[in-house]
Amino acid sequence: MVTFKTKMDSTGRIYIARPIRNSGIVNVIEILPNTKAAVIYEAGTEIEDILASLRVIIADLKQRLKAETKK
């Protein structure tokens, strides 16, 4: 899984990288943030589909954590 880094500008706006913009999300997006992370998804996406995608991301993060602890 690819990670994208971006900075906020002085007004708090962020640039969304082209691969994310071209990933199939079209029209309006929704962003569900908390203090440590955010989920970006196409408006109207079924919650179960969002959760299924998050499970894949969580599995990837767990694998990265395992790799970090082996160093």
Q: What is the largest distance, in Å, between two alpha-carbon atoms of the chain?
A: 42
Torsional sign, CA 9, 14, 15, 17: positive
The two structure tokens encoding residue 67: 């790799």
14-60 pLDDT, tens digit per residue, is 888 888 888 888 789 999 999 999 999 999 999 999 999 999 999 99
Could you tell me if residue 63 is left (phi over 0), alpha (psi between -120 and 50 degrees) or otherwise beta? alpha
In the chain, domain spans: 18-69
pLDDT at 71: 77
pLDDT at 27: 84
